[in-house]
Amino acid sequence: MTERVYTLEIINPQVFYGVNNTNLNLIKSKFPKLQFVARGDEIKVLGEESELENFASKMELLEQIYLKKGELNVHTLNDVFGGNQKAELNMEVDDDVLLIGTRGQKIKARTANQRAMVKAAKKNDILFAIGPAGTGKTYTAVALAVLALKEREIRRIILTRPAVEAGENLGFLPGDLKEKIDPYLRPLYDALEDMIPVDKLKSMIESRTVEIAPLAFMRGRTLDNCYVILDEAQNTTDPQLKMFLTRMGPNAKLIITGDLTQIDLPRKQQSGLFRALKILQKIEGISMIHLNADDVVRHRLVKEIIGAYDKSQENEDISL
């Protein structure tokens, strides 16, 4: 008799078990030759190798369906574990959906340029996503990283930002270094909490499966087998961005997001993002997606505000 342990990383354990374990009991009934011991997010299964292989393939299909639909019901479980071909039909869902959020919401590419980001990330190891606030570039990047982690394509997610002061002095913030830095990284936490339950996210941060750190902490490292997102890259200097890009190790993907209209560097310092976009654009394996006001997914006024500023800039001939 062989034993295997499955960890529910993709499907929420409460959803998987069902009310009063109704889902789990249904699954058990489909595999009478297997023994199940379920506790929390771990399921120990004992039985013959052939039966375990069959169960594993069904679980993989179930996870794929859950990633797209965000729900399980008796019909889906019967289709999947009963060997019904209808299970394949359940996969015919919205292709733009990346994963299901913690509130059951569909996290998806909502605009043409966001879809271009998703497509480019699959084909390239380095992706630059440039655009104004509210275009979903950071949120989409985090969703891609979480999806890759859940599908076990990578082992870690690393999210980083330059700790550049936007009109406020970092040194006067209360607390230790982590407490001073956290406000700069809050948007990244917010995106993650939309996609990973808070208790699970806390555990992943403690185990360093998910790491959120200032850009300065990347120096000297080799980033391997991970998805790395550099947010607010317009606030990096040329040496900083070069340092970040050259941290890349085997089986790593980098996404660099930035808004060239919101640079908070001292006036005499040019954004490293400007130069990177110019000198790296012809390198195979690096893609650059430019988002615009049409991609804004926040309040409708955000799109109009961006349009008004862009029009004012054109009229005043402001050069950035």
Helix (H) or strand (E) holding 200: helix 198-206
What pTM value is reported for the model?
0.72
Query: Which residue among 22, 56, 89 closes a domain?
Result: 89
Does 185 share its domain with 41?
Answer: no
Q: What is the DSSP string of 239-266?
A: HHHHHHHTTB-TTEEEEEEE-TT---S-
Tokens 């993002």 locate to 273
Does 21 share its domain with 164?
Answer: no
Residue 84 has pLDDT above 70, yes or no: no
Residue 319 has pLDDT above 50, yes or no: no
Q: Is the Cβ–Cβ distance between 67 and 16 less than 8 Å?
A: no
Residue 171's pLDDT is: 52
Does 49 share its domain with 107?
Answer: no
Residue numbers of the domain that contains 57:
2-89
Residue 169 has pLDDT above 50, yes or no: no
Residue with the bigger pLDDT between 283 and 311: it is 283
- Give the CATH number, domain containing residue 140: 3.40.50.300
Contacts of 82 (CB under 8 A, 6+ apart): 30
Residue 236's pLDDT is: 92
Residue with the bigger pLDDT between 287 and 169: it is 287
Give buried/exposed letters for 140-161 (b at 16+ CB in 10 A, else e). Answer: bbbbbbbbbbbeeebebbbbbb
Does 127 share its domain with 81?
Answer: no
Tokens 């049409």 locate to 294
Does 199 share its domain with 312?
Answer: yes
Query: Which residue among 61, 89, 117 closes a domain?
Result: 89
Q: Which amino acid is at 86?
A: K
**102-161: pLDDT as tens digits:** 887 888 888 899 999 999 999 999 999 999 888 999 999 999 999 999 888 999 999 998
Does 82 share its domain with 124?
Answer: no
- Give the CATH number, domain containing residue 59: 3.30.1370.10
Q: How far apart are CA 9 and CA 17, in angstroms?
A: 14
**40-64: pLDDT as tens digits:** 888 999 999 999 998 988 888 888 8
Residue 320 has pLDDT above 60, yes or no: no
The angle that helices 49-69 and 74-81 make with each other, rounded to 10 degrees, is: 140
Query: Which residue among 89, 119, 149 closes a domain?
Result: 89
> Considering its fold, how many domains does the chain have in total?
2
Residue 94's pLDDT is: 54
